[in-house]
Structure 1
Amino acid sequence: MKTPEASFFEWQRQFGSEIDCLNHLKHIRWPTGFICPRCSCEHSYQLTTRDVYECSQCHKQTSVTADTVFHGSRIPLAKWFWAIYFLGSDKGSISALRLSKLIEVNWRTARLILSKLRTAMGHRDSLYRLSGLIEIDDAFVGGKRKGKRGRGAAGKTPVLIAVESKGKRAGFIAMQAVDSVCHEAVNDFVARHLNAQQEVHTDGLAALNIIDNTQQHEARVTPSELVDEWLPWVHIAIGNLKAFLLGTFHGVSGKYLQEYLSEFCYRFNRRKMEKEIPNRRLNLAIIHAPVHSY
């Protein structure tokens, strides 16, 4: 289903106040009126002092933000809604420092908002399974440190990447940060992100041989000058990922890397509907279960 596009001025007009955001949330959650999540009763009393609805039958009290990403948050909805817009309005994403200035919160609060939204994005894309011809490779991401480069370099986190090859274009993509590129990690990645018995191309790395068990796997040891012919799209994805991480965030630690991978994949998989992304993220935040901070 096509989601409405969002311009800066339209977003400002639609969500210019806390009441606007609250009314939108009510409309999306209860389009025909309040429904009790416990007994499905449609009658309630509104406790205006806390903006909570009490079911007239079972007396369960339910807030408008219950069972959403906004659940339990003391951050005004208007700031949440604008964070969602700023996160989705630019190809290069947004840093916590920049967001903190735009919505006037401290860095930790901005970081928490972004973390919850990125986690929800990752959960959304985890529902999909890649199919058709799929390229799989690994990459190493992290800050610069002295010493060995590439595989096994200190301070870098290994990432498994899978991209659907659609001939002259790439299809959907999946990325997962792992402790090491080993049979166990590769097997888990394939089970999470691929349908069974797909045609899979890899570069012949021994750890990827486990893919034979569930897929139609073809591994080819390829000279560096020919690798882009065998695995063109996955290498483009790796290059774009590194530019994404360095351009906006100037590098990412391994602890939070999966959040950024989730955002990158979410954007990549919806690159043809870029102007819809803010509204898609808003809908996702409303239907997604609460994301607990850590």
Structure 2
Amino acid sequence: MPRNTIQFQKGLGLHDFLEQYGTEDQCRQALYDLRWPTGYVCPECGNTTGCELKKRQIYQCHKCHHQTSLTAGSIFHGTKLPLRTWFLAIYLLTQRKKSISALQLSCKIGVNYNTAWRLKHKLMQVMMERERGKKLAGRIELDDAYLGGEQAGKRGRGSRNKIPFVAAVETTRDGRPMKIQLRRVRGFRKREIARYARSCLMPGSEVFTDGLWCFSGVTTADCHHNPMVTGGGRQSVQYSCFKWVNTMLGNVKNSLLGTFHAI
């Protein structure tokens, strides 16, 4: 059996990460290069000449004398934690398939639980805001999902104990996944799916669904609807046209079960 190229793709190992971002100076230089890739630029007047006041760790413009720090206006602004702690948290949060709990994170980076919780949620908020407003386009696999619930009860559609979500994956024409999206909805009604489609899907997209009636609402956003009635049971997840949305939902549920046991 051939290897799964996605599972065996080269990543950034911990040893390589520590070589690049193991010291505070390395982290500051990396942040400097990201903020000013062509050199210092005053955020107030746009002047490109200034000096660094090293004792205070701020930069001062030669023209307007405006002072700014390397972390000003960023997620690191006002932090009392070393940048290397932030960078390590980013690495641990993004390199694990099943995420990482705040408790685990606190042990790994050497901070208390409350600090780890706030740090993690800041990073997750930034990731969410970066993707907010971006719409899926082209070929899209769409499915309904139900997540959460602390009490046992009815599973799947019709459950009053779980939160409904729309799961979507944008793929290339030859079926390669490009972007994923998981968006909470108020319920699976045609009007609600129409609202979702106008907010999250580009007009002209080709949407593949399992035939659930409410998904026809995507046509109100000028999307092409391709329903494929799959029925229930194990066979319903074997259709190749829904391969990636089923894979995404499987990974999400495994992440919740493996990391956040109370959800």
TM over 0.5: yes
TM-score (norm 1): 0.74
Structure 2 letter corresponding to 1:179: R
Query: 1:262 maps to what in 2?
Result: none
User: Which residue of the other structure, out of 230, 233, 236, is the alignment partner of 1:227?
Assistant: 236
Aligned to 2:259: 248
Q: Secondary structure at the match of 1:231?
A: helix
Alpha-carbon separation, structure 1, partners of 2:33 and 2:45? 20
Matched-pair contact (CA < 8 Å) for 2:140–2:168: yes
- Write the distance in 2 (CA, Å) between the matches of 1:27 and 1:209: 47
- CA distance in 2 between partners of 1:244 and 1:192 (Å): 27
1:116 maps onto 2:126 in alignment: no
1:261 aligned residue = none
- Which residue is 1:6 aligned to? 12
Check whether the contact 2:98–2:254 (CA below 8 A) recurs between aligned residues: no
Structure 2 unmatched runs, 5+:
1-9
Q: What do residues 137-161 of structure 1 show as CA deviations (whole Å, max 9, x unaligned)? A: 1110013413333224243111101
**Post-superposition offset of 1:232:** 3.8
Structure 1 position 170, deviation (Å): 3.8
1:180-229, CA deviations, whole angstroms, 9 ceiling, x for partnerless residues?
33445423432343221222122333332211212111334442145332
Which runs of 5 or more residues in structure 1 are unaligned? 253-294
User: Which residue of structure 2 lines up, in the alignment, with residue 163 of structure 1?
Assistant: 169
Cα distance between partner residues in 2 of 1:211 and 1:168 = 21
**Distance in structure 2 (CA, Å) of the matches to 1:106 and 1:73:** 15
Percent identical residues? 39
More helix by share: 1
Query: In structure 2, do the counterparts of structure 1 residues 33 and 216 end up closer, same or farther at CA, with 3 Å as the change threshold?
Result: closer
Change (3 A) 1:184 1:123: farther
Indicate yes or no: 2:94 matched with 1:84.
no
State the 1:234 CA deviation. 2.2
1:240–1:28 CA distance, 2 compared to 1 (3 A): closer
CA 1:17–1:171: 2 relative to 1, 3 Å: closer
Which residue is equivalent to 1:39? 45
Compute the TM-score of the two structures, normalised by the length of structure 2: 0.82
Counterpart of 2:146? 140
1:31-64 Cα shifts (integer Å, max 9, x gaps): 4432101101123343333311122322222110
Secondary structure, counterpart of 1:148 in structure 2: coil
1:97 equivalent to 2:98? Answer no
| Map 1:175-214 → 2, pairs under 5 A | 175-213=182-220, 214=222
* Matched residue, 2:250: 239
What is the alpha-carbon root mean square deviation over aligned residues? Answer: 2.5
Larger radius of gyration between Structure 1 and Structure 2: 2
Instruction: Please tell me whether the aligned partners of residues 34 and 42 of structure 1 are also in contact (alpha carbons under 8 angstroms).
Output: yes
Q: Distance in 2 between matches of 1:114 and 1:130?
A: 26
The 8 Å contact of residues 138 and 204 in structure 2, kept in 1 or not, is answered as no
1:273 equivalent in structure 2? none
Deviates more, 1:23-32 or 1:165-174: 165-174
TM superposition shift of 1:116: 2.0
Structure 1 residues 90 and 220 mapped into 2: Cα distance closer, same or farther (>3 Å)?
Answer: closer
Choose the corresponding residue for 2:226, options 215, 218, 223.
218
Letter in 2 for 1:236: T
| Range with greater deviation from structure 2 (184-193 or 132-141) | 184-193
